[in-house]
Amino acid sequence: MRARLGRRFPRRALLSRLLHGCRPGLLITLLLAWPQVAPGKVSVVPLPVYDTNPQEGSTFGFMPVFLILDEQDAVRQIYAPTITHNVINGTTGTFRLLGYPDNARRYALTAGASTGINYRVRARYSDTRFLDGRFLFESRVRQERDGTFRFFGFGTRSVASDETNYALRETHAEFAFGPHLSRHLHLTLREIIRRVEVEQGRVENVPFIGDRFPDIPGVRGGTVHAQRLALTYDSRDSGIVPTRGAFWQLYAEVSAPELGSSADYLKLGGEGSWLFPLDGPAVVLVLHGLLEGLNGTNVPFFARTSLGGQDTLRGFKENRFIGNARILGNAEARIRLFNVRLFQTNTEFELDPFLDMGQVFNAFKQISRGTLQVVPGVGLRALVRPTIVGRVDVAVGREGSAVFIALDYPF
């Protein structure tokens, strides 16, 4: 594995680096959510950590998971501190708090720092039944730096030999609010603010993006201030562990210099998922599609459409293909294997063979069989209904295989 150890920070620097990454707004959000301790039983799950990410390589560690259960043994809160080690990022300490007060509300807090250059502070809250069920509200705030990002150039014909590395330092905030128009239909307006700085990365023997691509928009950072209007239909029986129904969304997003953005673009898109029970909830076929494109000037590379990673083309690194438009299709069969009781909770295990297909492009005539990326794979999922999905996905693309470990279904 290619790695640059560089200057190493002592482990006592973890706390100071974490505090350095916490802006006041994030600290306030963290403190506001901290008192929301759910009463109930506590179950402790000691877990080893092993993750092999195509962007970061192998990571080893330990994570004791504390589950807070209600009277019906449903998980209402999760505390998950983690200590891991990675040859690129060094030793990392992370704290996670996830909350599920009811079926409509969710919140998540993450704070972590490494002895390298990485740090991460994230806060998220959503309520699909806001203000007596009449509105939807969602907020996401994060401050982070990651030194393992890759860039290969634009377009579906970008080649692996043009791989570059960089560190992305980002402050990101999103706020969405809108009314429920009917039982399954709602309208939202989303405010998006991103401030990005591009710095020297951590991966040895991989050129810096600024050396190989010195003239692309965004290589010196930039600011994106955008507004997105979305119309969403959702008839699924669950937003986290669905077994039937449909979800689709149509949206338009605009970013203008007059509002302080360094990018000037209009983005239009549509996305949908459909679930078909084939043997009741034991076997569910899921189809997913996405079509998105943007038109603008001076659009930073990090704000354009992309494919690759744990939720799109799972056989490639994150953001492997970048362009002005993208098309994506996914199909997977969620096959229930067995149900066991572990650590006071009912846990279901699934085997999910899947197929991902997609391409970035600038014009529809560029879509062809020769440039369409086809990625077969299989996933193993552990579910604690109605709130938790943990997954491991293994996929094979044209440039090799990839393994992703994540929470929640990809779609």
Q: What is the mean pLDDT of residues 294-310?
A: 94
Per the CB < 8 A criterion, the answer to whether 89 and 120 are in contact is no
Answer yes or no: are the C-beta atoms of 212 and 198 closer than 8 Å.
no
CA distance 108 to 106: 7
Determine which of 50-59, 95-104, 112-121 has the lowest per-residue pLDDT on average.
50-59
Beta bridge partners of 46: 64
139 falls within a domain: yes
* Beta carbons within 8 Å of 27's beta carbon, 6+ residues apart: none
* Predicted confidence (pLDDT) at residue 164 exceeds the cutoff of 60: yes
> Would you place residue 336 in the very low, low, confident or very high pLDDT band (cuts 50, 70, 90)?
very high
Helices (H) and strands (E) counted in the chain, each on its own, are 4, 21
The token duo for 143 is 């401050």
pLDDT-derived band of residue 232, with 50, 70 and 90 as boundaries? very high
> Does the residue 194 lie in any domain?
yes
4 in a domain, yes or no?
Answer: no
C-alpha to C-alpha distance for 241 and 243, rounded to whole angstroms: 7
Average pLDDT, the chain: 89
Residue 27 is predicted with a pLDDT of 52
Asked whether residue 104 is domain-assigned, the answer is yes
Q: Name the residue with higher pLDDT: 96 or 17.
A: 96
Lowest average pLDDT, out of 53-67, 155-169, 174-188, 227-241, goes to: 53-67
When divided into structural domains, the chain yields a total of 1
Q: Is 87 among the domain residues? A: yes
| Structure confidence by residue, pLDDT tens digits, 44-86 | 888 888 877 778 888 899 999 999 988 888 889 999 999 999 9
Please give the pLDDT value at position 39: 56
Q: Domain for residue 285, yes or no?
A: yes
Give the range of the structural domain holding residue 66, as residue numbers without chain letter. 13-407
Q: How far apart are CA 70 and CA 47, in angstroms?
A: 22
Q: Indicate the range of 85-89, 172-176, 213-217, 340-344 predicted with least confidence.
A: 340-344
In a domain, 3, yes or no: no
C-alpha 77: how far from its chain's center? Answer: 20
Helix ranges (DSSP H) in 107-247: 130-133, 209-212
Q: What is the CATH number of the domain that holds 42?
A: 2.40.160.50
What b/e sequence results for 12-46 when a residue is b if at least 16 CB atoms lie within 10 Å of its CB, and e otherwise?
eebeebbeebbeeebeebbeebeeeeeebeebebe
Angle, vertex CA 149, rays to CA 397 and CA 315, nearest 5: 10
Burial of 161 (0-12, 13-18, 19+ CB in 10 A): exposed
Could you tell me the two tokens for 40?
Answer: 């109930």
CB of 57 closer than 8 Å to CB of 85: no
* Domain assignment of residue 7, yes or no: no
Token code pair at residue 174: 């999103």
